[in-house]
Every structure is written in structure tokens, then in C-alpha cells.
Amino acid sequence: MTLHTFNPAVAPSPGTTNTPRVSLNKAEFGDGYTQASPKGLNHIRRTLTLKWEGLLPEQAAALDSFFTGQGGYIPFYYTHPVEGVTRKWTCEEWGSTYGAPAKFTATLVENFTPMT
């Protein structure tokens, strides 16, 4: 399966957040000592919260159409303009605020599933 690339016509607005979630195995000992090790090769998973403000209604509709087409489970590629690294993501949460101008938010979660 060929993955789509998310290439929004409008760059996200300032205020986008990148929140890494670290997954560790931990063993705590009685004397206060803790030993930790990573849970697997991809133990750091990023979550990007993208925000767009000042959109035309058709721009918000285009964003909604892309995420709806991915269905919340189909991974896609996205390169954040500040970071400059292409990663694979899924998006289960997105929404828009209608008005003039419109607003749109999407929460992307890094995806490590190998594609065959």
C-alpha cells in the first residue's frame, strides 16, 4: 500500500505543540533506587497538535477531507516545517471551528507500523 503525504496548502499557525511520550520499563527498589530501560526500539512516540487559524472555509474543508479519507487508522507521511524531518503519522482526532475566519486542529500520533 502506498502511503499518502499530508501537504497542507496552508502551514500550521504558531502554537503547534510537539509532545514526546516515552515508554520505559522501570524497576523500583526499596532503597529508592530505580532502574529503567526502553520498551522496544521505538520507545519515544511523538504527538503533534497542529492548529490552523484564519482559514477560508474551503481550506478547512480540504484539511477535514484529508483526515476523513485516512479514517483515523491509515498512516501518512508529514514533514513539520520547523523540524524538517518526514515521519509517519496517524490522526484519530481533528475538528474545525466554523466562522469567518475558520479554525482547524488535528492531533497527529507518530506511527511505527511497518508497511508491507
Percent of the chain's residues with pLDDT above 90: 80
pLDDT at 116: 53
pTM: 0.87
pLDDT at 83: 85
Interatomic CA distance for residues 45 and 29, integer angstroms: 27
pLDDT at 47: 95
Mean pLDDT over all residues of the chain? 93
pLDDT less than 70: residues of the chain:
116
Place of cell 511505527: 112
Strand runs labelled E in the chain: 4-5, 17-22, 24-28, 34-38, 44-55, 76-79, 86-97, 102-110
Beta carbons within 8 Å of 63's beta carbon, 6+ residues apart: 8, 52, 55, 94, 96, 104, 106
